[in-house]
A and B are shown apart, each in its own frame.
Chain A
């Protein structure tokens, strides 16, 4: 069918893009989007490699739980971002550096 390598390549590109977004974007919501991309990449990996092991449902179960976890974490993340925004009046991560070493 569809070779596993291709699915893998797609998920790798999702992963890399997600990492790049996290590292380079100056908006916390962009970081969150990157994070979602990474989770999606993992999910796609799970589902994709599941086809090597039919009729097992492991991959799809894992995928389900990944989604659940992603939801939780996204909710809490948004809540934190909103709270931080309320505090610092900025959604730029570089400007929220209170934990910076005073030296």
Chain B
């Protein structure tokens, strides 16, 4: 299937151009002063060019693998090689990212019109695109990690674009922090790979087979990284909060690309995982699938429903990789990117329609109905996008769900794997149910009519994404993969899978209709929302633990270290006092004592010379008598 294409310099140049164009856009947007009105358009142009370039690359390279590396630095005897790796996954992903980024750029021109900091926004959008692309095509895991971090940084800046909103700033920090926890896993995996395999090059690693305990550990650590970045259990609580950022950002980052980065990594590196690690992966993914679906049922905020839906779909992708279905997971990644981005952009248009300027944006689905008559095109797009999410036939989402289901059914041999299939089906039913609930609330007619149409510039990306959610883009046939995507060698679905998927759709719709036909509007308490539990854990366990450690070490410093210092100081002062006393009393005393002796002797002899004759005579007599005594006796 895949052959290695020699990377000729023109292609290398083209790839580099494609990568660096968004960076250029970012830099220009950031540093240009003066007239800034043309910046959004300029950014769109840049991304558009990059998108065209990626299309050319795809045409030239797909489905072969092209690799080009140059040495970066050496540490001792080892050299780190950086370069480009364009295998089928990364080539397609490149285009996907750029298409969605381009649409989001165009959309943002309309959505953020009037925002005073558009230059900052577009610069970070461009930077994010650059980071994502770099991540996708990097051939060395170390460079991949660098781009992984840059993605996290850009997402932090983009979520917190509206800095004045405290909620947004906190959400951005939370996202970054939780991602960092996952990054620990990535670093550990890198260390283990380096020490056991001696290389971080993806191509070379695929040739090496690691011993089982090592590959389990590597797999688990990479899984940790993926859970942080792609909002799996238990690190998903940042994603619903990240909806505080602008809607196009949510579309780009939290639907299509950034959260998909974790899944993409998983797909690229799944050859490193041992069966045990894969089992854990699929377990986490299935759990996340169910938790996300649960969350989507409890939300009335449109963006939060979509956020939980993303969590759930990412869980589905991760579970697919855990079951060994890289092609299926990648397909779902691609189709999900398109239809979820479309859903987010539609949601953005609706929010834009319903919100009054200057007040809080209206995002509650209980209040967002009654517009479908005046915006029929938009309603149609919304319906198609939702259908793609549900997996209605004739959409691309149907195809990708089919792939995953058929793979799971084919490989189901023991009870564990049958259990996985059951959960998959259950997840599909729930997906259908909550999507139907959302559409039902929004699209139903209502006495309040919203008359005005959506702006064209916002509609165009939506329409295009809707188009991309139909089956035509992915395959020539609505029932099975054929055409260009056949290069991935996906599993051909059987009739039974078709039957099962249609049945899940119908079941879900009926189930949801029965539950929500009266449109209950009661709010859910915080404990009923799945986000509550990781938040609680984070706050009460990690934050409190860290603060306790800080307080403890401060006390230690104050009592012990300062105590020791003070004791030493006291000892020194006392010692110097003693020495001073010694010097004063004894040393000086000795000297003055000696002088006193001398003075005394001097005084004594001075007393001899008192000018009195008789005392002179007396002393003289004493001397003479002594002499006489000495002579005579």
Q: Do chains A and B touch in the complex (CB under 8 A)?
A: yes
* A57-101 residues at the B interface, CB under 8 angstroms: 93-94, 96-101
Contact B617 A97 (CB under 8 A): no
**Partner pick for A93 among B606, B609, B614, B621, CB 8 A cutoff:** B614
A94 to B612, CA, bound (A): 5
Residues of B within 8 A of A100 (CB): 609-612
**Partner pick for B613 among A24, A96, A103, CB 8 A cutoff:** A96
Residues of A within 8 A of B606 (CB): 101, 103
Q: Is A22 an interface residue (CB 8 A)?
A: yes
Can you name the residue of chain A whose Cβ is closest to the Cβ of B612?
A: A94
Q: Is A33 an interface residue (CB 8 A)?
A: no
* B588-633 residues at the A interface, CB under 8 angstroms: 606, 609-614, 617-618, 621
**Partner pick for B610 among A24, A31, A101, CB 8 A cutoff:** A101
**Partner pick for A23 among B609, B610, B611, B614, CB 8 A cutoff:** B614
Q: Count the A residues whose beta carbon is within 8 Å of the partner chain — how many?
A: 14
A93 to B613, CA, bound (A): 6
Contact A19 B614 (CB under 8 A): no
A96 to B617, CA, bound (A): 15
> C-beta contact mask, B522-548 vs A, less than 8 Å → 1, else 0?
000000000000000000000000000
Q: How large is the interface on B (under 10, 10 to 19, 20 to 34, 35 or more residues)?
A: 10 to 19
Residues of A within 8 A of B617 (CB): 22-23
Can you name the residue of chain A whose Cβ is closest to the Cβ of B610?
A: A100
Question: Smallest distance from the beta carbon of A51 to chain B beta carbons, Å?
Answer: 23
Contact A101 B621 (CB under 8 A): no
Residues of A within 8 A of B618 (CB): 23
Residues of B within 8 A of A22 (CB): 614, 617
Question: Smallest distance from the beta carbon of A17 to chain B beta carbons, Å?
Answer: 14
A99 to B615, CA, bound (A): 13
A93 to B614, CA, bound (A): 7
Contact A97 B610 (CB under 8 A): yes
Residues of B within 8 A of A24 (CB): 614
Contact A101 B612 (CB under 8 A): no
Contact B614 A94 (CB under 8 A): yes
Residues of B within 8 A of A93 (CB): 612-614
Question: Smallest distance from the beta carbon of A26 to chain B beta carbons, Å?
Answer: 9
Residues of B within 8 A of A19 (CB): 621
Contact A101 B614 (CB under 8 A): no
**A23 in contact with B612 given A101-B606, A103-B606 (CB within 8 Å):** no
Can you name the residue of chain A whose Cβ is closest to the Cβ of B608?
A: A101
A46 to B617, CA, bound (A): 24
A99 to B621, CA, bound (A): 20
Residues of A within 8 A of B613 (CB): 31, 93, 96
Question: Smallest distance from the beta carbon of A88 to chain B beta carbons, Å?
Answer: 12
Residues of A within 8 A of B611 (CB): 96-101
A52 to B609, CA, bound (A): 44
Residues of A within 8 A of B612 (CB): 93-94, 97, 100
A98 to B613, CA, bound (A): 11
> C-beta contact mask, B225-265 vs A, less than 8 Å → 1, else 0?
00000000000000000000000000000000000000000
A96 to B611, CA, bound (A): 7
A99 to B610, CA, bound (A): 8
Question: Smallest distance from the beta carbon of A31 to chain B beta carbons, Å?
Answer: 8
A22 to B617, CA, bound (A): 8
Can you name the residue of chain B whose Cβ is closest to the Cβ of A97?
A: B611
A101 to B605, CA, bound (A): 10
Residues of B within 8 A of A98 (CB): 611
Residues of B within 8 A of A101 (CB): 606, 609-611
Residues of B within 8 A of A103 (CB): 606
Can you name the residue of chain B whose Cβ is closest to the Cβ of A19?
A: B621
Can you name the residue of chain B whose Cβ is closest to the Cβ of A24?
A: B614
A98 to B621, CA, bound (A): 22
A23 to B620, CA, bound (A): 11
A19 to B628, CA, bound (A): 16
Can you name the residue of chain A whose Cβ is closest to the Cβ of B607?
A: A101
A24 to B621, CA, bound (A): 13
Question: Smallest distance from the beta carbon of A83 to chain B beta carbons, Å?
Answer: 15
> Which of B609, B610, B611 has the most chain A CB atoms closer than 10 A to its own CB?
B611
Residues of B within 8 A of A94 (CB): 612, 614
Can you name the residue of chain B whose Cβ is closest to the Cβ of A99?
A: B611
A22 to B618, CA, bound (A): 9
> C-beta contact mask, A3-41 vs B, less than 8 Å → 1, else 0?
000000000000000010011100000010000000000
Can you name the residue of chain B whose Cβ is closest to the Cβ of A103?
A: B606
* B130-164 residues at the A interface, CB under 8 angstroms: none
A103 to B267, CA, bound (A): 111
> C-beta contact mask, B320-341 vs A, less than 8 Å → 1, else 0?
0000000000000000000000
Question: Smallest distance from the beta carbon of A93 to chain B beta carbons, Å?
Answer: 4
Residues of A within 8 A of B621 (CB): 19, 23
Residues of A within 8 A of B609 (CB): 99-101
Question: Smallest distance from the beta carbon of B614 to chain A beta carbons, Å?
Answer: 6
Residues of B within 8 A of A23 (CB): 614, 617-618, 621
Question: Smallest distance from the beta carbon of B384 to chain A beta carbons, Å?
Answer: 126
A22 to B613, CA, bound (A): 9
Can you name the residue of chain A whose Cβ is closest to the Cβ of B602?
A: A103
Question: Smallest distance from the beta carbon of B584 to chain A beta carbons, Å?
Answer: 29
Can you name the residue of chain A whose Cβ is closest to the Cβ of B617?
A: A22
Question: Smallest distance from the beta carbon of B629 to chain A beta carbons, Å?
Answer: 15
Question: Smallest distance from the beta carbon of B562 to chain A beta carbons, Å?
Answer: 61
A84 to B23, CA, bound (A): 124
A100 to B606, CA, bound (A): 9
A27 to B610, CA, bound (A): 18
> C-beta contact mask, B282-317 vs A, less than 8 Å → 1, else 0?
000000000000000000000000000000000000
A102 to B198, CA, bound (A): 102
A31 to B287, CA, bound (A): 136
Residues of A within 8 A of B610 (CB): 97, 100-101
A13 to B551, CA, bound (A): 105
A24 to B612, CA, bound (A): 12
A93 to B612, CA, bound (A): 7
A83 to B64, CA, bound (A): 146
A24 to B617, CA, bound (A): 11
Given contacts A31-B613, A101-B611, 15 further A-B contacts (CB under 8 A): A19-B621, A22-B617, A23-B614, A24-B614, A31-B614, A93-B614, A94-B612, A96-B611, A97-B610, A99-B611, A100-B609, A100-B611, A100-B612, A101-B606, A101-B610
What are 25 A-B contacts defined by CB distance under 8 Å? A19-B621, A22-B614, A22-B617, A23-B614, A23-B618, A24-B614, A31-B613, A31-B614, A93-B612, A93-B613, A93-B614, A94-B612, A94-B614, A97-B610, A97-B612, A98-B611, A99-B609, A100-B609, A100-B610, A100-B611, A100-B612, A101-B609, A101-B610, A101-B611, A103-B606
Enumerate the 9 nearest inter-chain pairs by beta-carbon distance, A residue then B residue, closest first.
A97-B611, A100-B611, A101-B609, A93-B613, A99-B611, A94-B612, A103-B606, A23-B618, A101-B606
